[in-house]
Chains A and B, each alone.
Chain A
Amino acid sequence: MAKLNMVKALNLALLEEMERDPDIVIIGEDVGVDGGVFRVTEGLHRRFGGRRVIDSPLAEAGIIGASVGMALYGLKPVSEIQFSGFAFQCFHQIENHAARYRQRSQGRFHCQMVMRMPYGGGVRALEHHSESEEQFYAHIPGLKMVIPSGPRTARGLLVAALRDPDPVVFFEHKGLYHASKEEVPDETEALPIGRAEIVQEGRGLTLIAYGAMLRVAVEVAETLQLEDGIGVEVLDLLTISPLDRETLTASVSKTGRAVIVHEAPRSFGPGAEIAASIAEGAFLRLEAPIRRVTAYDVPFPGFAREKGNVPDAARVLAAARETLAY
């Protein structure tokens, strides 16, 4: 077992899968010689050469559009969009084509491709470098939408995404890249896409989070155990779409209470689908209204005001206590 941060864990997943499968190519801005602005592809250009690790022109639609073509041809591109905030310039290629070729061609073609995008706030960055846009991708039929919460899940889910025959949008929280090191198994391990993990068990309340918000949820669970003596179940979603409704429903059926935490704005965000799924699957077990702790429904307010917007432990704790007291 090696202890790796998330950047190294992602790099390891790319390295070992590229060793295994010569059809995998990497394409993006600065991903080659420079190793990516977050260094996720560091060393891969040297190892595999410029034909497999492609420094593309600066054009998001070109990157994803060409990746779609590569995938139709039979390659397995990993396309990096430098920041998720720039992906709207290729959104049409993702929605109109990557997600639809399997159906449009009735199975003759499909797009086995992974679209990696750094996302998320709290990193003192400018507009378009701090947003969370997972809801847009989670809404698209034909796509999968995955968000790891740390080095171990990043490595396991990226391996799984690279082997998945369907297109996967893979969000990496910028705040997690260097946040911590975790034990990562020596053997290549693919974590199942579409499966949430129960990070800790409890009976009083289910806290549902993903990405960087998982750490907030775990911190709140510790506080509630320590200060209120309440055991909280923490659920790491890992895959936003397809959503693991089974695990969600089972957990809330047991606890009767749910608080959902995400960085994306609230209205029509992932929390809405999660809450609806819980209501459909566990309505008679609910003891309290389902709560959402999210960013507010405002455009990114600049990092000087970000603290009030991105959910933190205090906000989640308050919501959890209100839900418990209901």
Chain B
Amino acid sequence: MPRTLIEPQFPIERLSILDSEGNLDASLEPKLSPAELQRLYRGMLLGRRLDERMLRLQRQGRIGTFAPIKGQEASQIGSVCTLEERDWLVPSFREAASMLWRGWPIEKLLAFYAGRLEGGQPGPEQRDLPVTIPVATQLPHAVGIAYGIQYRDEDSVVMVYFGDGATSEGDFHEAANFAGVWHGPVIFLCQNNQWAISVPLKKQTNSRTIAQKAAAYGFPGIQVDGNDVLGVYAACREAVDRARAGDGPTLIECVTYRLAMHTTADDPTKYRAEEEVKAWEQKDPLTRFRAYLEGKQLYDASVEAQVDEEIARAVERFESTPAPDPLGMFDHAYAELPAHLAAQRAELAARLQESTQGDPADATAPASPPMRGQRTTTRLDGLIPDVGRA
């Protein structure tokens, strides 16, 4: 018997349209209207500015720990913008820009990171899952939703986000395998940001790419420059169209970089070199895209002030929200309150009534005490449980 070569079912491609030097491959340039291009920039900018604002809010003790997105704005906006309202978004915990694009109010995200359950509530018609914290566990949910879409013959698709670290988890394998077998309308969007807290990609996998993992499950995978919003858009447009047409899943690996810390409780100077960060700062997705817009006379500097104003107003709304009622913890444990929980609720209600302090605002005191200076903050933050790992 001869030894023969089995041709790969799906060769792995890499896509880059607008590189960090501003070179554009015009043959691949997506056909987006000026308004659409401006909207993409605005979405990325909003993500970046909110991130910066949240970091200050966290350092001041006005919200708790969160996972900054800095550096990943193109991966998020370039992908989420290809979804229709009827499509499903399944985030992990580092997709603030994508969630904002989908209409999550800024104050709701702030509430989430201030430890309020209300921050996890999607709108009544919104087909977005709330933040999922355990790494990769949201991937099978996306596949189940895709099954539902097939079952009811809908033409929606599901986009599920995860990081490079998540591809080491069993749930990644199980979800991708189910998706391959079921041929469902799901887009696996990996933001390969090179670091899972302190573990670099080379310690995470010996695969040359993450994209190639798709081949094992029988669907296409593509690697794209994740800091190139046009490249991400083009790859996702193709994958979304394919999924909607009934042609199954795609794995998209966005090669990007986490410019900030894993979460506000993390100090990346412990494990990665400043030069590496500096090199990636040169590939900043916003700088590159802004230059592209300027070249087309589409950049309007007033957008910066508009975005800051939008954030400032939302922070005001967030901080003027009344303290949540502690009894709310019982509201959505079950569809109907079982007897033992009704008794426990009554116990808490009585305690709140009796309490001399009696001020439910206690329950919403700052998630961490107000602090000044990063060193102190880092040390104190170490005491606060981490929100995730990748």
Contact = CB atoms under 8 A, between A and B. Distances in A.
A28 B341 CA distance: 32
A61 B145 CA distance: 15
Nearest to B181: A57
Interface string B109-122: 00000000110111
Contacts of B130: 104-105
B178 A57 contact: yes
Interface stretch (A68-76, A283-291, A316-324): A68-76
Query: Which among B121, B126, B130, B147 has the highest number of chain A CB atoms within 10 Å?
Result: B147
A102 B333 contact: yes
A69 B121 contact: no
B177 interface: yes
B117 A106 contact: yes
B143 interface: yes
A12 B120 CA distance: 39
B121 A105 contact: yes
A33 interface: no
Interface stretch (A146-154, A228-236, A241-249): A241-249
A96 B144 contact: no
Contacts of B340: 242-243, 245
Nearest to B180: A57
Nearest to B330: A103
Given A56-B178, A103-B117, A69 B142 contact: yes
B177 A166 contact: no
A61 B140 contact: yes
Contacts, number: 130
A75 B151 CA distance: 9
Contact of B177 (A59, A64, A164, A243): A59
A61 B144 contact: no
A65 B139 contact: yes
A65 B181 CA distance: 15
B148 interface: yes
A93 B140 contact: yes
A66 B333 contact: no
Interface in A243-294: 243, 245-246
B332 A61 contact: no
Interface in B139-179: 139-149, 151, 170-171, 174-175, 177-178
A110 B335 CA distance: 9
| Interface majority SS (helix, strand, loop, mixed), chain B | helix
B151 A51 contact: yes
A67 B120 contact: no
Contacts of A105: 120-122, 129-130, 332
A43 interface: no
Contact of B134 (A67, A92, A107, A142): A92
Contacts of B175: 62, 65-66
Given A51-B151, A65-B171, A72-B145, A96 B134 contact: yes
B126 A108 contact: yes
A65 B143 contact: yes
Interface in A67-104: 67-75, 77, 92-93, 96-97, 102-104
B147 A70 contact: yes
A147 B140 CA distance: 27
Contacts of A142: 333-334
A102 to B, nearest CB: 5
Contacts of B331: 106-107
A241 to B, nearest CB: 9
Query: Which among B123, B129, B142 has the highest number of chain A CB atoms within 10 Å?
Result: B129
Contacts of A164: 335
Given A57-B181, A102-B335, A242-B338, A108 B140 contact: no
Contacts of B118: 106
A64 B340 CA distance: 27
A102 B140 contact: no
A165 interface: yes
Contact of A246 (B145, B334, B339): B339
A166 B331 CA distance: 14
A301 to B, nearest CB: 29
B334 A97 contact: no
B343 to A, nearest CB: 9
B144 A59 contact: no
Query: Which among B123, B126, B332, B333 has the highest number of chain A CB atoms within 10 Å?
Result: B332
A308 interface: no
Given A61-B171, A69-B147, A102 B178 contact: no
Contact of B140 (A69, A166, A246): A69
A122 interface: no
Interface string A175-205: 0000000000000000000100000000000
Contacts of A25: 151
B137 interface: yes
Contact of B170 (A61, A71, A109, A243): A61
Contact of B148 (A61, A74, A109, A110): A74
Contact of B332 (A64, A103, A245, A246): A103
A102 B331 CA distance: 9
A65 B335 contact: no
A140 B84 CA distance: 36
A105 B129 CA distance: 8
B124 interface: yes
A110 B121 CA distance: 12
Nearest to A66: B144
Query: Which among B122, B140, B142 has the highest number of chain A CB atoms within 10 Å?
Result: B140
B338 A73 contact: no
B151 A62 contact: no
12 contacts: A57-B177, A65-B174, A69-B142, A73-B144, A74-B148, A93-B137, A93-B140, A103-B333, A105-B120, A105-B122, A105-B130, A108-B126
Given A97-B132, A105-B120, A107-B332, 11 more contacts: A57-B177, A59-B174, A59-B178, A62-B143, A62-B177, A68-B141, A69-B147, A73-B148, A77-B144, A103-B332, A104-B117
